[in-house]
Structure 1
Amino acid sequence: MSNLKKLLRYDWPLHFVLLFTNWLPDNIQILRLRGYLASPFFRKCGKNLRLGRNITFYNPSRISIGNDVYIALGNWFMAAEAIDIDDQVIIGPYNVFVTGDHTLQDGSFRYGAHVVAPIKIGRGSWVASSCTITKGSTIGSGSVVGANSMVNKDIPSDTMAGGCPAKPIKSLKK
């Protein structure tokens, strides 16, 4: 699909939905309404998406969202590559999800080549607040990423992880 078609099909309609609903309060009904109105503009989106205010999605045509997902206010998604969010995921406020980075060229990162890799968030996981999830990271099913953490590699399923960079803290298996 051409870039213009992607802009017209995914990006611009989603930005308009978010723009026109951001002034509404974040209560259950509005979170559901915002998610319902935004859901057609992702690569794939399940039922019962709930979206907080002031969320930014770049390249929503590369973002897949499962059923019963909650994304709190102020999150930033940069999908240069795929971002896959499985069912029943909770994403707290003010997180950054970025699937690419820059390389150094002639003493500057501005025009260096981009390196991209997908991000996957497993079923039933919880990303707390103010976390950064970088390219190539997978957060396993049923895992928790503690507040203010930076994930730059895989987090196993059923694990509590935290820190910068995030490391497993304890197993959540019962």
Structure 2
Amino acid sequence: MWNNIRFQWPLHTVLFLTNWLPDNVIFLRLRGFLARGFFASCGEDLRLGRDLTFYNSAKIVLGSHVYFAKGNWISAGDVVEIGDEVMFGPGSIVSSANHTRIGSSFRYGEPQIAPIKIGNGVWVSGNCTITAGSVVGEGTLIGANSVVRDTVPAGVLYAGVPGKVIKTL
């Protein structure tokens, strides 16, 4: 309950009140400046686009110079750690909880929760999904529309559904 009052409500209020501002350098930085206190920790120069959703921001750790483009969705059932100089293209999803199945339904299954770690200098292209337990190595490029569900080595192009290493960068 305390985390909802301390982190969630103010963060959602900031995002709601600034959502009408255009996505240019000034307002990306303003949104980031106003929101930075509502995460577990946050480095300098956070830049936030419009239409972002952060669930359980008390478990989201952000490095310096992190950029979220329009429409990202971050859900932290467990710790989500994002390194320095990480960029997220539009419409990406990061979720540290997966649904499980009971009988023939996923509706009431216990969530499978595991931390996510995204290394320094990673670029997560548009419409990517990063699932619970994933670890993305430093300097990696996640190709557009890809699904990450395991450990990705450092310095590679990783793409596909499910994702795989395409080449070393």
Q: What's 1:143 paired with? A: 140
Alignment of 1:17 with 2:10, yes or no, is no
Q: What's 2:87 paired with? A: 90
Partner AA of 1:69 in structure 2: V
Deviation at 1:103, TM superposition (A): 1.4
**Any residues of structure 2 matched to 1:1-150 within 5 Å, and which?**
4-150=1-147
Encode CA deviations 1:119-162: one digit per residue, 9 max, x unaligned.
Answer: 11100010000000001001100000000100011110001110
Query: Separation in 2 of the partners of 1:101 and 1:127?
Result: 20
Structure 1 segments of 4 or more deviating over 6 A?
Answer: none
Give the RMSD, CA atoms, in angstroms.
0.6
Deviation at 1:107, TM superposition (A): 2.1
TM-score normalised by length of structure 1: 0.96
Partner AA of 1:77 in structure 2: I
Query: Separation in 2 of the partners of 1:93 and 1:120?
Result: 19
Deviation at 1:98, TM superposition (A): 0.8
Alignment of 1:160 with 2:148, yes or no, is no
Deviation at 1:106, TM superposition (A): 3.0
Query: Separation in 2 of the partners of 1:150 and 1:108?
Result: 23
Encode CA deviations 1:76-104: one digit per residue, 9 max, x unaligned.
Answer: 01110111000000111100111111211
Structure 2: which 5+ runs fail to align? none
Partner AA of 1:122 in structure 2: G
Query: Separation in 1 of the partners of 2:103 and 2:133?
Result: 26
Structure 2 counterpart SS, 1:73: coil
Percent identity reads 50
Q: Count matched residues.
A: 169
TM-score normalised by length of structure 2: 0.98
Encode CA deviations 1:24-72: one digit per residue, 9 max, x unaligned.
Answer: 0000000000000000000000000000000000000000000011110
Query: Separation in 2 of the partners of 1:167 and 1:95?
Result: 18
